[in-house]
Amino acid sequence: MTNSISDIHLADVLLVTGSNTTEAHPVISLEMKKAVRKRGAKLILIDPREIELSNFAAIHLRPRSGTDIALLNAMTHVIIADGLAKKDFIEARTENFDALADAVKDCTPQWAEDITGIPAEMIVEAAHVYGQARSAAIFWAMGITQSSHGTDNVQALANLALLTGNFGKPGSGVNPLRGQNNVQGACDMGGLPNVLTGYQSVTDESIRVKFETAWKSSVKIPAKPGLTVTELMNGALNGSIKALYIMGENPFLSDPNMNHVREALHALEFLVVQDIFLNETAQLADVVLPATSFAEKEGTFTNTERRIQRVRAALPIKGEARRDLDIICDLGERIAKRINGFGKRIYEADVIHSVMDWNYTDASAVWDEIAALTPTMSGISYERLDRAGIQWPCPTANHPGTPILHKEKFTRGLGRFTPLIFREPVENPDDEYPFVLNTGRVLQHWHGGTISRRSAGLNWVVPEGEIQINADDGVELGIATGDTIRVSSRRGEAIGKARLTDKLPRGMVFMNFHFAEMPTNALTNDAVDPVAKIPEYKVAAVKIERV
Residues in 258-297 that interact with another protein by CB under 8 A: 269-270, 272, 275-278, 282-283, 285-291, 293-297
Residue nearer to another protein on the CB measure, 56 or 537? 537
Q: What SS3 state is found at 136?
A: strand
Q: Minimum distance from CB of 432 to another protein (Å)?
A: 27
Nearer to another protein, 17 or 73 (CB): 17
Q: How many residues bind another protein (CB under 8 A)?
A: 148
For residue 238, what are the contacts with CB-CB under 8 A and spacing of at least 6?
none
Q: Which is nearer to another protein, 119 or 193 (CB)?
A: 193
- What dihedral angle (degrees, nearest 10) is formed by the CA atoms of 365, 201, 177, 410? 110
Of 82-90, 109-117, 307-315, 486-494, which segment contacts another protein by CB under 8 A? 307-315
Residues 461-490 close enough to bind another protein by CB under 8 A: 461
Q: Which amino acid is at 330?
A: D
Q: What is the largest CA-CA distance in the chain?
A: 73
Q: Contacting another protein (CB under 8 A), which of 87, 92, 102, 180?
A: 180
393 belongs to the binding site for another protein (CB under 8 A):
no
Q: For the stretch 436-445, what's the b/e string if a residue is b when 16 or more beta carbons lie within 10 angstroms of its beta carbon?
A: bbbbbbbebb
What minimum distance in Å lies between the beta carbon of 335 and another protein? 5
Cα(62)–Cα(119) distance, integer angstroms: 10
Region binding another protein by CB under 8 A among candidate stretches 75-83, 130-138, 158-166, 178-186: 178-186
Residues 200-219 that bind another protein (CB under 8 A): 202, 211-212, 215, 217-219
- x/- map, 218-257, another protein, by CB under 8 A: xxxxx-xxxxxxx-x--x----xxxxxxxxxx-x--xxx-
Binding piece for another protein, criterion CB under 8 A, among 42-50, 74-82, 482-490, 526-534:
526-534
Q: Name the amino acid, one letter, at 18.
A: G
Stretch that binds another protein, among 104-112, 182-190, 414-422, 538-546 (CB under 8 A): 182-190
β-strands 508-512, 435-440: how paired? parallel
Euclidean distance between CA atoms 256 and 391, whole angstroms: 33
HSE, CB side, 13 Å, CA atoms: give it for residue 325: 16
**Scanning residues 329 to 358, which ones bind another protein (CB under 8 A)?**
329-332, 334-336, 338-339, 342, 345-346, 350, 356
Q: What residues numbered 18-37 form the site for another protein, per CB under 8 A?
A: 24-28, 30
**In terms of C-beta distances under 8 Å and separation of at least 24 residues, what long-range contacts does 371-377 make, across chains too?**
372/214, 373/196, 373/197, 373/210, 373/211, 373/214, 374/197, 374/198, 374/200, 375/198, 376/198, 377/188, 377/197, 377/198, 377/308
In the bound complex, what is the minimum distance in angstroms from residue 301's beta carbon to another protein?
A: 5
Asked if 292 and 283 touch (Cβ cutoff 8 Å), the reply is no
Q: Which of residues 407-436 bind another protein (CB under 8 A)?
A: none
Map the footprint of another protein across residues 48-87, applying CB under 8 A. none
Task: Indicate left, alpha or beta for 248 from its phi (over 0: left) and psi (-120 to 50: alpha).
Answer: left
Amino acid symbol at 237:
L
Q: Which of 105, 423, 454, 506 is the binder for another protein (CB under 8 A)?
A: 454
* Residue 152 three-state SS: helix
Contact string (CB under 8 A) for another protein, positions 105-144, x = contact: ----------------------------------------
* Nearer to another protein among residue 120 and residue 311 (C-beta): 311
- Cα(466)–Cα(484) distance, integer angstroms: 10
